[in-house]
A and B are shown apart, each in its own frame.
Chain A
Amino acid sequence: MSGGKRRNLTPYLLILPAFIITIGILVPFAISAYWSMTNYSLNRPDFHFTGLKNYIDMFKSRVFWNATLVTFKYAISAVTVELGLGLVIALLLNRETLMSKILRPLLILPLMIAPVIGTLMWKLMMSPEFGVANYVLSFFGQRNFPWAASAKYAMFSVVLVDVWMFTPFIALLLLAGLRSLPVPPFEAAKVDGASNWFVFRNLTLPMLMPYIFITIIFRLVDSLRAFDIPFAMTKGGPGDILMTYQITAFNEVFTFLNVSKGAAYMLVNWVLIYAICFVLVGKLQKWRDRIN
Chain B
Amino acid sequence: MVSIKRGKNDILGDILLGLIFLFFMFPIYWVFTMAFKSDSDILIWPPKFIFSPTLAHFKAILFNQLSEQSVGATTTVNYLGYFKNSLIVSISAVLISLAVGIPAAYAFARYNFKGRENLFFNFLTFRFAPEMLVIIPIYLIYQRLGLYDTYTGLIWVYQLITLPMIIWILRGYFEDVSADLEDAGLLDGYSRLNIAARIVLPIVKPGIAATSLLTFIYAWNNFIFGMILGGTGVQPVTVAALQFISADKLRFGDMAAASILAALPIIILAVYTQKYLIRGLSLGAVKQ
A2 contacts chain B at the CB level, 8 A cutoff: yes
- A196-B281 Cα distance, complex, nearest whole Å: 30
Q: Which residues of A contact B204 (CB under 8 A)?
A: none
- A277-B140 Cα distance, complex, nearest whole Å: 30
Provide the B204-245 mask, 1 if CB < 8 A to any CB of A, else 0: 000000000000010011111000100000000011011011
Chain B at the A interface: mostly helix, strand, loop or mixed? helix
Contact (Cβ within 8 A) A130 B112 = no
Q: Which partner residue on chain A sits nearest B43 by CB separation?
A: A130
B100-150 CB contacts (< 8 Å) to partner A: 100-101, 103-104, 106-108, 110-113, 116, 119, 122-123, 126, 128-134, 136-141
- A267-B277 Cα distance, complex, nearest whole Å: 32
Provide the B274-288 mask, 1 if CB < 8 A to any CB of A, else 0: 100110011001111
- A168-B242 Cα distance, complex, nearest whole Å: 24
Provide the B244-288 mask, 1 if CB < 8 A to any CB of A, else 0: 110000001001101100110011011100100110011001111
Q: A18-B123, A124-B252, A269-B133 are in contact. Are A116 and B241 (CB under 8 A)?
A: yes
A74 contacts chain B at the CB level, 8 A cutoff: no
A-B contact count (CB 8 A): 305
B28 contacts chain A at the CB level, 8 A cutoff: yes
Q: Which residues of A contact B55 (CB under 8 A)?
A: none
A106 contacts chain B at the CB level, 8 A cutoff: yes
- A289-B134 Cα distance, complex, nearest whole Å: 36
- Choose one: A89, A106, A117, A211; the contact of B263 (CB below 8 Å): A117
- A91-B238 Cα distance, complex, nearest whole Å: 34
Would you give the shortest CB distance from B95 to chain A, in whole angstroms?
13
Contact (Cβ within 8 A) B134 A4 = no
- Choose one: A103, A211, A228, A253; the contact of B136 (CB below 8 Å): A253
Q: Of A48-56, A57-65, A151-159, A169-177, which binds chain B?
A: A169-177
Would you give the shortest CB distance from B103 to chain A, in whole angstroms?
4
- A92-B288 Cα distance, complex, nearest whole Å: 19
Contact (Cβ within 8 A) B221 A173 = no
- Choose one: A28, A89, A120; the contact of B141 (CB below 8 Å): A28
Q: Which residues of A contact B60 (CB under 8 A)?
A: none
Residues of B near any A CB (own CB < 8 A): 1-5, 10, 13-14, 16-18, 20-21, 23-25, 27-28, 30-31, 34, 42-47, 96, 99-101, 103-104, 106-108, 110-113, 116, 119, 122-123, 126, 128-134, 136-141, 156-157, 159-160, 163, 167, 179, 182-183, 186, 192-193, 217, 220-224, 228, 238-239, 241-242, 244-245, 252, 255-256, 258-259, 262-263, 266-267, 269-271, 274, 277-278, 281-282, 285-288
